[in-house]
Amino acid sequence: MKKKNIFIGIAAALVVVLAGAYAARSLHYQERFLPETKVLGVDIAGKNVAQANKALTTHFAKTTYRITENNKTLASATGSELGLKRDFTSTLTKLLDRQNPWGLTAVVLAGSDADGAAAIQADDATISDFVKTATTKLNATRSTTQDAEIVAKDDQYVIKKEVQGTKLNAEKLTAAFSKAIANDKKTVSATVAYEKPAVTSTSTSLTSELKKLTDLTNITGAIKIQNQTVTIPTATIRSWVTYQNGQIDVSQDKVAAYVATLATQYGTYGKTWTFKSTKRGTVTLANGTYGWSIAQNTQTANLIAAVKAAKDFTLDVATQGSGYHADGSAIGNTYVEVDLKNQHEYYYKDGKLLLQSDIVSGKPKQATPTGVWFVWSKQRNATLRGTNDDGTKYASPVDYWMPIDYTGVGLHDSPWQPKYGGDWYKEHGSHGCVNNPPSFMKKLYAAVSLGTPVIVY
């Protein structure tokens, strides 16, 4: 009985000792962190909040942050070098309040625990300068990103694929680096800051432009010139189309040059004429206002518009001047013929002789100019003015006036002439005009239309 009491007393004393030790331990950890407590991998066991905060800030001030690529460090800096200031006080206080000082197990805060995040004061300027300096140095030897583009190749347009370069965008890299620091990550990959192509080979804008270019460079075109159709080679049209800086256009200079070659080849203005006369056979004439040419500015504009429409086309030629005949004839079969040698005039309409008469042409010293002309105006009751051989002025009223050149020569009635034909013109001829009998001129004026050719030889 006595021995049993001894054991009970020892046990009671042990309980008291253990309880006292446990109570002392619990009181100790009311202001300190339990054993094996870690925050973001840093051991803070046995430390109070202030001590733990110092341990953490010291640790992270020495932490190295890296810019990497393919597992290779490109640039690095410590937290202190980057001007980072951390304060874990709030987090540590919450952690201490949450731990059970009477517990026997450690409180461990994993790095992924949101409570482990510190209040970070980052020096944005220092981080930006660090990244900018690193980027400038790295970009010196890096390839440039190239957008996909349309290029000419083998007489056609194709898409040249984009090129992904390795040059870094400082702004993107700064943003990624700052975000990594804020999320307590130690590395950021440089690949997130690669300059990306703004235009790729599959971009809708590029593929649609290529289609339009393809359509433009494969159209067929032609110009109708009188009784023939001039086909424009597809290769020629293709050479007119330009593509630069994303803009499709048609070269005005190249189209104008092509039209100029047509103008040289076609048209009648300024060329030598051959004419089958009524009494003197075929005569050759190299003078006059009659004739047509291609209106080059208008024709160029019409061609450019037709090509831009990206459809096959056939245009009518744009002309200027007089005497354009769709059937391809030069003078046609309606005209006035003035034979100076025979002092006779004819009017043919649609190949049939309708009117004829003797005339009086200019004196030998003021001869009526030969050539192919045309009636460019018709006037009633005009007054013809000029200078006589002796220098005096004259003013001759006429009932019918049809000028044919631009110096004052034309066809008109001449009631002052007593006779016509023969050699009368040699002494009594005009100052260059073709004098017609009044009765004949009345009929001729009524019959002749504006633009009618007048062949004088």
Cα separation, 317 vs 298, in Å, equals 9
Phi-psi region of 40 (alpha: psi -120 to 50; beta: other; left: phi over 0): left
Decide: helix, strand or coil at residue 172: helix
Residue 344 is a catalytic residue: no
Cα 190-193-199 angle, rounded to 5 deg: 135
- The total of other beta-carbon atoms located within 10 Å of residue 315's CB is 17
Residue 412 is a catalytic residue: yes
SS (H, E, C) 83-150: CCEEECHHHHHHHHHHCCCCCCCCCCECCCCHHHCCEEECCHHHHHHHHHHHHHHHHCCCCCCECCEE
Catalytic residue among 59, 344, 431, 433: 433
Residue carrying structure tokens 């100019």: 369
Cα separation, 212 vs 219, in Å, equals 11
Catalytic residue among 325, 344, 412, 428: 412
Cα separation, 365 vs 368, in Å, equals 9
CA 228 → CA 158, 187, 232, 266, distances in Å?
A: 36, 76, 13, 11
Decide: helix, strand or coil at residue 293: strand
Encoding tokens for residue 122? Answer: 């980052």
CA 270 → CA 76, 226, 262, 267, 373, distances in Å?
A: 82, 18, 15, 9, 11
Question: Looking at the annotation, which residues are catalytic?
Answer: 412, 433
